């Protein structure tokens, strides 16, 4: 039997219960580590589950940041320098990735604290994660303030991308399962991924057709 939750019922939930409930209700989300470097030269790393596709030409990705009522080192560094990296998380990295959500002081590098390795691509300002199977260098293009709840949406363009050549299909499809990329539900539940099938471009006069 389906249980109905009204707006009033959701609002009446205990704060932490409501946060878990609303965060996990949409199901699996993209999981990535965002690497930044402060103007003072301190490397920063933080886990995010709000990455989304904005466009392919130009290549744009978005991130949602919670209200900066407390220090948001990642957002501060992006605002100061204009650069950051996005790093997917593979099996075996989840504990370290989760630990980056702890509130370390601004002069402490999460790379050092959780045992992940910073790596730089040429002269690009922000550090990437050496252990990540797919990493991207991003340039800040636009920040959108959401007045409704005080969050910020950061839109960035892809400056460079690195991944295993074997993970890229002939049609350009990058298979996350090849690199054992994991996903997240809610704030703390991590899952393995498995390809169930790819389908041909949908058309009104044709039935769904598997590509593989």
Mean pLDDT of the chain: 93
Q: Determine contact, residues 51/63, Cβ cutoff 8 Å.
A: yes
Average pLDDT for 115-132? 95
Average pLDDT for 26-35? 94
Region of 100 (left: φ > 0; alpha: ψ -120 to 50; beta: rest) is alpha
pLDDT over 90 (residue 12): yes
Query: Residue 198 — very low, low, confident or very high, per pLDDT cuts 50/70/90?
Result: confident
pLDDT on residue 185: 94
φ, ψ for residue 98, nearest 5 deg: -60, -40
d(CA 30, CA 89): 9
pLDDT on residue 70: 59
CATH classification of 8-191 is 3.40.50.620, yes or no? no
Q: Determine contact, residues 29/185, Cβ cutoff 8 Å.
A: yes
d(CA 199, CA 19): 35
Using DSSP, state whether 141 is helix, strand or coil.
strand
How would DSSP label each residue in 147-192? Answer: TTTTEEEEEEEEEEEEE-GGGB-TTS-B-GGGGTB-EEETTTEEE-
pLDDT on residue 46: 96
pLDDT on residue 153: 97
- Predicted confidence (pLDDT) per residue in 50-92, tens digit: 999 999 999 999 999 988 765 679 999 999 999 999 999 999 9
pLDDT over 90 (residue 199): no
Query: Residue 195 — very low, low, confident or very high, per pLDDT cuts 50/70/90?
Result: confident
| Single pTM value for the model | 0.92
pLDDT on residue 69: 64
- For CA atoms 164, 153, 38, 34, the dihedral sign is negative
pLDDT on residue 54: 96
């Amino acid at each position: 039997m389906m249980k109905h939750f009204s707006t009033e019922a959701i609002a009446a939930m205990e704060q932490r219960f409501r946060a878990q409930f609303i965060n996990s209700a949409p199901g699996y989300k993209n999981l990535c580590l965002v690497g930044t470097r402060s103007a003072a030269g301190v490397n920063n790393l933080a886990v995010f589950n709000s990455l989304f596709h904005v466009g392919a030409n130009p290549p744009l990705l978005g991130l949602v940041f919670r209200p900066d009522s407390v220090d948001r080192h990642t957002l501060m560094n992006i605002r100061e320098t204009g650069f950051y990296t996005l790093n997917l998380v593979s099996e075996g990295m989840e504990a370290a990735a989760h630990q980056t959500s702890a509130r370390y002081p601004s002069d402490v590098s999460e790379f050092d604290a959780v045992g992940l390795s910073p790596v730089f691509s040429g002269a690009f300002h922000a550090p990437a994660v050496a252990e990540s199977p797919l990493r991207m260098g991003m340039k800040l293009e636009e920040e959108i303030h959401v007045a409704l709840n005080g969050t910020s949406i950061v839109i960035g363009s892809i400056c460079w991308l690195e991944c295993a050549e074997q993970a890229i299909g002939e049609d350009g499809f990058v298979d996350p399962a090849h690199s054992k990329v994991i996903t997240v539900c809610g704030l703390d539940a991590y899952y393995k991924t498995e390809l169930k099938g790819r389908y041909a471009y949908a058309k009104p006069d044709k039935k769904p057709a598997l590509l593989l």
